[in-house]
Structure 1
Amino acid sequence: METLPLFFSLAAVVFAYSIWFHFLARKLTGPRVWPLVGSLPLLFMNRRRIHDWIAGNLRATGGSATYQTCTIALPFLARKQGFYTFTCHPKNIEHILRTRFDNYPKGATWQAAFHDLLEQGIFNSDGKTWLIQRKTAALEFTTRTLRIAMARWVNRTIKNRLWCILDKAANEKESVDLQDLLLRLTFENICGLTFGKDPQTLSPDLPENPFATAFDTAAETTMYRLLYPGFLWRLKKILGIGEEKRLKSSLKIKRDVNGSFFTSDVLQRIALNFVLAGRDTSSVALSWFFRLIMNHPEVEQKIINEISTVLRDTRGPDHNKWLQEALSFDEADRLVYLKEALTETLRSYPSDPQDFKYVVHDDVLPDGTFVPSGSTVTYSILSIGRTKTIWGEDCMEFRPERWLSQEGDKFEPPKDIYKFVAFNAGPRTCLGKDLAYLQMKSVAYAVLLRYRLSLVPGHRVEQKMSLTLFMKNGLRVYLQPRALA
């Protein structure tokens, strides 16, 4: 008899929870949710392809381009820490990044996840801490001197190292991992530009760089912190298991170019934040660019024709002079179609596929979606470029001409700038955008004018689960010398 009250109490709790869960699930528009665990099972099953999975869920919404789900189906938590709104709607993104900028900071969840890696650097801070760093960096990034310095470092690395490695591979008919070479190149450039130091990772013998390897591992494992409830990764950190064990090991490998340990403050606040911005994004974008070029020879030929036209004007008809020196600052500025092709690459394969924001106060997005305070809003940059209602029926096609002005003589971004946020937008717009284009143009010229690329047979190109859209298996290619007309 004593068990009856307990039985009825449990039954009442289960019944009340079932009613609550029914109304919660009915309001959610994303992947299926289960009692207690919410959408965590599907999240775990798709953890190796999370970017494509999110994009698929957004496409499944039809024209709304927004869905909501929860990873913890428990009262209170389901509408706070466990509640996620995913969107690729340009008006929503403008609302988040500009109109209500103060209501959508990085937030405590993001900062806690990235604190071990980035501390309070510019990419992991809000409010006054972020504003001070932003203003300081803006003073440097807006100067022509910095662009000239970037061009000098890029051209030096291309002429003295990249061409030597590629020439050797072409002559010996050996394949190279182009993504690895590009990562080494951009790492050397950002170290040179930021610290005036040369890590020499792009030497002919391609020495292992413990810092770069550890940084890649740390960035990848930190990403998992954002996908699961906070208590899970904190528990793993305490126990020292799984991804948290890998992260701890990676963070120990922090040395400067001379092999000496950085101080924590210098490394976390400056080095890693600039490495994240200057190394990964440009190299990843270039990797996807070269992959697309191999599949679109007509685009490749237009790029070659444009480069040839510019160099014929600046260096004369002698092809040897075209290949002796890297691009000058002014020559790079004249490559309009190349910029369009690089931008089209970023539309389809943005280096940063998604971003997370914390909701400070209850709000309603422009498409009518209610977002509760304490929850998370994620905008999928990858999905924007792959949504027909945003970019049209040909959104999955690689078509650089979509960025050409009606007059046909200049690069022209879309009138709605929030259709393309590969360089972020609003107050957090990337300060290094012009430097990124300069570096990417220089490298594209250096590779394409000298060589024809072909993918190694059987090599699989697929996305890697990381903060940036790395290729999981690299980009292994053969190089053949190009005959210029």
Structure 2
Amino acid sequence: MGGNWVLSTHKLDNPTTSNVAMMFPAILTVVSFFAVVLICAFSSYRRREEDKARPVPTYPIVGSAFFFWKNRGRFSQCFTELLRDAPSNTIKFQRPSGKMAIVTANPANVEHILKTRFEIYPKGDYNRLVMNDLLGDGIFNADGEAWKFQRKVASYEFNTRSLRDFIAETVNGEVVQRLLPLLRKAALQGKSSLDMQDVLKRFAFDNICKVAFGADPACLDISLPQSHFMEAFDTATYLTAERFFTPLPISWKLKRLLNVGSERHLSQAIRSVHLFAEDLMKRRNKELSLSSAAEPEDLLSRFLSLHRSSEGESYGDFVRDIVISFILAGRDTTSAALTWFFWLLSSHPHVEKNIELEVKRVIAARDEISSGFSYEELKEMNYLQASLCESMRLYPPVPSDSKEALQDDVLPDGTIVSKGTRVTYHPYAMGRMESIWGADCLEFKPERWLKKGDNGSLVCVAENAFKYAVFQAGPRICLGKEMAFTQMKCIVASVITEFRLDVDPNLKPKFVSTLTSGMSGGLYVKVVEKTKED
């Protein structure tokens, strides 16, 4: 009886043991899966705890697209608010592609990106893809050896004394022969609707064409309609920038593939821009071949000479892309900076008075009467330099700039960067950070840039380039910085001694951003000639 019981028990145990043995791999798989999920969740939690960047609201598939769509039209202001409230002035969000993006207003991070680890933060594939149709392989869109070659050539040319003097001479000519007569005419007619933003764009376009290409489009003649090229260039820069702000990048890529909608307009505008640049190159190259001058003055001629001697070809996409990059840098940035400067000046009369007194002291020190200002005279205008720096702190011509990480990294503030992440530093937001500029960061105060020199006079002292990244910093720092200040100082010094630009005191201008910044709707002023009492 007992034996039978044992036997029967053994017979009943066999199937159960067999079933457990068969199910064991499945059970192990399930347990392993949940273990991996728990480990990943814990790792992700620890990673978020270690990551110092504040995340932006994110949703499945679309990432942070809804959040930025809600804030369309005010990206600069939106980023400023987010960065100001983030503990380390750095935020992180997810793009619709699933990849992460980082935006920072932390000077230590900016130095890390632009200098310390410069080699792993190039412009990147996405930036080049977005801007390639317009800028091609020009210096502002190039990476690697292509960038190094153009940078080396341009750096040498920008540091020659002959070019510096040529720039000062050209700017003075445009001011004396065109800008001042135009303002005198507007003052005489009592016009109250002169758009200074348009005037400054026209001035800058004439000037960059003379300095860089040896051509004179004469756009500053307001009686003439805006050139077809300028309209095409405005369209091309606006629609190219729209690609960056599109929540779902696949949409502009499909439109480009099908050549419809905004991408069709962009293609047409870029074709006009390219034709203008190529025609400019051909005409300048022909003039160069007929000229007996030992050394050409304008930049285009210098590049054409260099390219012809090294490549056996006098023009091509390489030089064309350089032409377009210089137009973008020379026309849009200085005009944007001066538009906001004149608006700020209209509500800060004491700043205007200080600048005027400084300019008059420089003029009084001359040995002989002359029009315009020399390069040396402009360098002496420290209060004016400080005022321009302060204006660009609050309203930078390029409000943000992006790079792409080539490998995993950690920023100085502890923000974790994965390979392929777009990392953006934001000069517009940085100018509004109390942590950088103090409690008065929103005030327009040129005095913050001035220190007493050895002789007791006030001197404009440059800030740390990573704290004030308006002209970039590190190896890619703007080569045209001195040229820009020469042009801006010459315009302001000439205008401010003769005219007052009255602006509607109720104007609340809107800061807009494409590839560069601007003032929505323009800056309309009433030009008034100053009297002795003024």
TM (normalized to structure 1)? 0.88
Match of 1:44 in 2: 69
Separation in structure 1 between the aligned mates of residue 340 and residue 324 of structure 2, nearest angstrom: 23
Alignment pair present for 1:309 and 2:327: no
How far the C-alpha of 1:266 sits from its partner, in A, is 5.9
Separation in structure 2 between the aligned mates of residue 246 and residue 307 of structure 1, nearest angstrom: 46
Separation in structure 1 between the aligned mates of residue 486 and residue 367 of structure 2, nearest angstrom: 19
Partner secondary structure for residue 471 of structure 2:
coil
1:445 to 493, 502, 509: 493
Match of 2:344 in 1: 292
Match of 1:272 in 2: 324
Match of 1:130 in 2: 147
Change (3 A) 1:315 1:178: farther
Match of 1:208 in 2: 226
Partner secondary structure for residue 414 of structure 2:
coil
Letter of the 1:379 partner, please give it: Y
Separation in structure 1 between the aligned mates of residue 269 and residue 153 of structure 2, nearest angstrom: 29
How far the C-alpha of 1:460 sits from its partner, in A, is 4.8
How far the C-alpha of 1:230 sits from its partner, in A, is 3.7
How far the C-alpha of 1:119 sits from its partner, in A, is 0.3
Letter of the 1:137 partner, please give it: A
2:92 to 68, 84, 88: 68
* RMSD (CA atoms): 2.4
1:196 to 214, 223, 226: 214
Separation in structure 2 between the aligned mates of residue 164 and residue 425 of structure 1, nearest angstrom: 38
Separation in structure 2 between the aligned mates of residue 108 and residue 257 of structure 1, nearest angstrom: 25
Separation in structure 2 between the aligned mates of residue 207 and residue 332 of structure 1, nearest angstrom: 33
Q: 1:4-48 CA distances to partner (integer Å, 9 max, x unpaired)?
A: xxxxxxxx9xxx9xx98x969997723311222111012122221
How far the C-alpha of 1:417 sits from its partner, in A, is 2.9
Larger Rg: 2
Match of 1:119 in 2: 136
Partner secondary structure for residue 451 of structure 2:
coil
Alignment pair present for 1:410 and 2:459: yes
Letter of the 2:92 partner, please give it: Q
Segment drifting more, 457-466 vs 175-184: 457-466
Match of 1:35 in 2: 60
Separation in structure 2 between the aligned mates of residue 212 and residue 226 of structure 1, nearest angstrom: 22
Q: Is the 8 A contact 2:63 2:94 kept in 1?
A: yes
Separation in structure 2 between the aligned mates of residue 484 and residue 42 of structure 1, nearest angstrom: 55
Separation in structure 2 between the aligned mates of residue 431 and residue 66 of structure 1, nearest angstrom: 28
Change (3 A) 1:241 1:60: farther
The count of corresponding residues between Structure 1 and Structure 2 is 454
Alignment pair present for 1:480 and 2:528: yes
Separation in structure 2 between the aligned mates of residue 264 and residue 171 of structure 1, nearest angstrom: 47
Separation in structure 2 between the aligned mates of residue 469 and residue 55 of structure 1, nearest angstrom: 15
Task: In structure 2, list runs of 5 or more residues that go unmatched.
Answer: 1-32, 283-314
Letter of the 1:148 partner, please give it: D
Q: 1:64-90 CA distances to partner (integer Å, 9 max, x unpaired)?
A: 100101022xxxx52xxx310010100
Partner secondary structure for residue 140 of structure 2:
helix
Change (3 A) 1:443 1:276: same
Separation in structure 2 between the aligned mates of residue 384 and residue 186 of structure 1, nearest angstrom: 27
Letter of the 1:413 partner, please give it: A
Change (3 A) 1:258 1:42: closer
Segment drifting more, 343-352 vs 403-412: 403-412
Separation in structure 1 between the aligned mates of residue 277 and residue 207 of structure 2, nearest angstrom: 13
Match of 2:428 in 1: 382
Partner secondary structure for residue 501 of structure 2:
strand
Match of 1:469 in 2: 517
Separation in structure 1 between the aligned mates of residue 100 and residue 200 of structure 2, nearest angstrom: 38
Q: Is the 8 A contact 1:104 1:359 kept in 2?
A: yes
% identical aligned pairs = 38
Separation in structure 2 between the aligned mates of residue 260 and residue 85 of structure 1, nearest angstrom: 40
- 1:179-194 equivalent positions in 2, closer than 5 A: 179-194=197-212
Match of 2:174 in 1: 157
Separation in structure 2 between the aligned mates of residue 404 and residue 260 of structure 1, nearest angstrom: 43
1:365 to 397, 405, 411: 411
Letter of the 1:253 partner, please give it: S
Q: Is the 8 A contact 1:198 1:257 kept in 2?
A: no
Task: In structure 1, list runs of 5 or more residues that go unmatched.
Answer: 1-11
1:348 to 394, 398, 401: 394
Separation in structure 2 between the aligned mates of residue 401 and residue 365 of structure 1, nearest angstrom: 33
Separation in structure 1 between the aligned mates of residue 163 and residue 89 of structure 2, nearest angstrom: 39
Letter of the 1:57 partner, please give it: L
Separation in structure 1 between the aligned mates of residue 508 and residue 400 of structure 2, nearest angstrom: 23
Q: Is the 8 A contact 1:459 1:476 kept in 2?
A: no
Q: Is the 8 A contact 2:277 2:320 kept in 1?
A: no
Alignment pair present for 1:235 and 2:287: no
Partner secondary structure for residue 410 of structure 1:
strand
Q: Is the 8 A contact 2:465 2:472 kept in 1?
A: no
